[in-house]
Chains A and B, each alone.
Chain A
Amino acid sequence: MDLFLQQVLNGLTLGSIYGLVALGLTLVYGILHVPNFAHGALYMVGAYVSYVTMVDFGVNYWLAMIAAAGVVALLAVLCERLVFNPLRHAPPIHDKIAAIGIMLFLEALVQMHWGAEFRRMPTPYTEILNVAGMTIPAQRVLIIIGAFSLMAVLHLFLKKTMTGSTIVAMAQNREGAFLVGIDANRVAMMTFAISGGLAAVGATLFAPINLVYPAMGHLLIMKAFVIIILGGMGSIPGAIVGGLIIGFAEAFGGFYISTDYKDIIAFALLVVILSIKPTGLFTKGVR
């Protein structure tokens, strides 16, 4: 039973991080219809920025997180301005290739500067809590609380603020949004900034119980794509629910089936689901 609860905790940890990363991806997709293959690289850059600000500059964990969010948000906006915006009307294959180009560039750049070796990110929260016979590392609690509070903040932002509701409006109906005079450029930049920020925060939360290396975003971005296909591309609740589904599937699959193949679970799930329902689980309508 304890082991079972332990897996629930693992699933929740993984799921909340996956959800956070998928959320950024789904926002960008919903609004600009760009499948941002570079999102995993943004996540990776976020981890490196926090690492450097903490280790090299000795800055506090939380400030490092904010710095990372800021830098990556800026980077994401740059990508939007320099790459995705000029490709707005290009055939759909082009923005995907461009996104892959950005990803390759960022990874190679980071690898050139910091090398390919694995690094461990320090965290001030190293205690192990003992609750009801379970051993819970404090960082995991932090991940779960941090991720879900961020999701809550994002939800409030989208629902309660003017900027947030324009983003939602544009996600729901792009042509309609233009008709009512929404500044599409501003919304696009804003969306990329939020998406980048989420990725960086996710990376800073997750990296202390994982490792920091140039290819760290690969698997994550693919899983994030699986999640948003599961949850419906562009759907915000879908990303969170999808993240939790994959998180739990991996935690339990890794434990009860095989650790070797746990990374394959998400993809196997995708293959099965898309074979049955080519438009994803929670999508309605034609597309």
Chain B
Amino acid sequence: MLKIDNLTKRFGGLAAVNNVSIEFEANKINAIIGPNGAGKSTFFNLVAGAMPPTEGRIEYQGMDITGMACDRIARLGIARTFQTTNLFEESTVLDNLIVGHRLRTQSRLWDVIINSKRLRDEEKKCRARAQEVLDFVGLSHIGHRITADISQEEKKRVAFALALATDPELVLLDEPAGGINPEETENLAGLIRKMVEHGVTVCLIEHKMDMIMSLADKIMVLDHGEKIAEGTPDEIRNNPVVIEAYLGSDDDAAA
């Protein structure tokens, strides 16, 4: 699905991601963990095309996507969510999601001016897709609410839905469970499993170890930009290098 070779990103002299190679399989939940500043978010940014890597190669479904623009990568089927959920607070929840399917449509300014059939069809299609993903994340009962008024957990779900509206095959989730309580985290984990059941490959960054250990099929551990371990949750749990990295830094591994 996603094959990464010797990926490196340097800012000035500092390597935020250093020579990382890994392969993520389709239809699996892959997790990336590591102490703060380990280069996890940079890694995501590289995969999503938000910044070009200094060295290395990213291959997605056999295609070289290294250095490709963000919006093209999204059209190829890689969607992502961000640590901070950015939504259009003044619109309704459903309204927020319609734009998610825009990348699968063709209408241009001219279609808008003459209100072409293509535009009307595509708008219907986008709206239908928005309703679908809203149902999928279990929020159809609040589709009409103003986004500013819904809870943090619901916003996270809307962000998931927005990513799903792009018809992705791989979804990158950056700290999906940040800032929500344990019970909500459990529900969100359920939703992530449901995404995989429906044929979406998931790759996530997370600090909540309980969640990762029960959820992930494969874990990669980053520390100071370098991959220090990869494997199943059990392998990671018992890996002395990982334990060292977490105890060595002041990061609370249990959190």
| A interface residues (Cβ-Cβ under 8 A, vs B) | 284-286
Contacts and interface: CB of A to CB of B under 8 A. Distances in A.
Interface of B: 11-12, 51
B42 to A, nearest CB: 10
A285 B10 CA distance: 9
A-B pairs with the 6 shortest C-beta distances? A285-B11, A284-B12, A286-B51, A285-B12, A286-B11, A284-B11
Contacts of A285: 11-12
A87 to B, nearest CB: 16
Contacts, number: 6
6 contacts: A284-B11, A284-B12, A285-B11, A285-B12, A286-B11, A286-B51
A71 B51 CA distance: 46
Chain B residues touching A, majority SS:
loop
A111 B106 CA distance: 54
A123 B51 CA distance: 55
Nearest to B89: A91
Nearest to A91: B89
Contacts of B12: 284-285
A286 B41 CA distance: 14
Contacts of A284: 11-12
A285 B42 CA distance: 13
Contacts of B11: 284-286
Contacts of B51: 286
A286 B10 CA distance: 11
A133 B93 CA distance: 75
B50 to A, nearest CB: 9
A285 B54 CA distance: 13
Nearest to B12: A284
Nearest to A284: B12
Contacts of A286: 11, 51
A198 B50 CA distance: 39
Nearest to A286: B51
A240 to B, nearest CB: 22
